[in-house]
């Protein structure tokens, strides 16, 4: 399960950049504190990933017969 949530009292006060934690990304049992800059960077990365056309979706893609 993947979720992003606001910071709570139990979370780390600072993220890996050394900035104040604004949100927490939780993937299964892994918890990643994120500052405002890291949160924005993650958001931009997700937008770029969602707008990427991978080769098999390209109109010029020709599947190999083998």
pLDDT tens, residue by residue, 33-50: 999 999 999 999 999 888
Let me know if 18 is exposed, middle or buried by CB neighbors in 10 A (0-12, 13-18, 19+).
Answer: exposed
Q: What is the pLDDT of residues 2-14, one digit of tens each?
A: 999 999 999 999 9
Answer whether 0.85 is exceeded by the pTM. no
Summarize the confidence of residues 54-63 as an average pLDDT. Answer: 67
The answer to whether residues 17 and 32 touch, using CB atoms and an 8 Å cutoff, is no
């Amino acid at each position: 399960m993947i979720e992003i949530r606001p910071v709570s009292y139990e979370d780390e006060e600072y993220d890996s950049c050394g900035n104040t934690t604004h949100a927490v990304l939780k993937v299964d049992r892994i918890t990643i504190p994120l500052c405002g800059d890291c949160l924005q960077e993650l958001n931009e990365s997700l937008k770029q990933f969602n707008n990427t056309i991978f080769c098999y979706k390209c109109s010029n893609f020709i599947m190999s017969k083998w």
